[in-house]
Amino acid sequence: MMENKNLFYVTMLSLLGILAIFSLSLVNSSNLQGAIVWNRELSDVFHTECTEVDDPLKEFGVKGSVDFERYRYHDVCYGSKLFQVHCSSSVRVAMLHGYQCPNGCSDGACVR
């Protein structure tokens, strides 16, 4: 009797999990509107360590990039805020919280 009850609960939880996954797959990507996403492109070279490429941190007027593994990550604008990528360690890429550009933000850099 107890085995049947446990089987019932496991079956119900499994069905709920499948239903949840199915529901999430149907959700329109517009729900991600407002989310900051990584701006990255495939690199020609594999980098075992995170390397800052174009500009030092907090140089807001220059679009910066870092290389790590097979990708090059770029600074990104979201509205008038600039989000800069940087190496938080030799094996980790991070993004700084948004800097409010006084004259607006365009293509990964503050407008001068």
pLDDT tens readout for residues 12-39: 666 555 545 544 444 433 333 445 667 8
Domain count, the chain: 2
Based on the fold, state whether residues 70 and 44 are members of the same structural domain.
yes
Based on the fold, state whether residues 20 and 52 are members of the same structural domain.
no
Based on the fold, state whether residues 19 and 45 are members of the same structural domain.
no
Based on the fold, state whether residues 69 and 94 are members of the same structural domain.
yes
- What Cα–Cα distance (Å) separates residue 45 from each residue in 22, 39, 61, 80, 85? 37, 18, 27, 32, 19
Q: Which residues on adjacent β-strands are paired with residue 74? A: 39, 65
Q: Which domain holds residue 20?
A: 2-28
Question: pLDDT (tens digit, 0 to 9) for every residue of the chain, 112 residues total?
Answer: 566 677 776 666 665 555 455 444 444 333 334 456 678 888 888 989 999 887 677 789 999 999 999 999 999 999 999 999 999 888 999 988 899 999 999 999 999 9
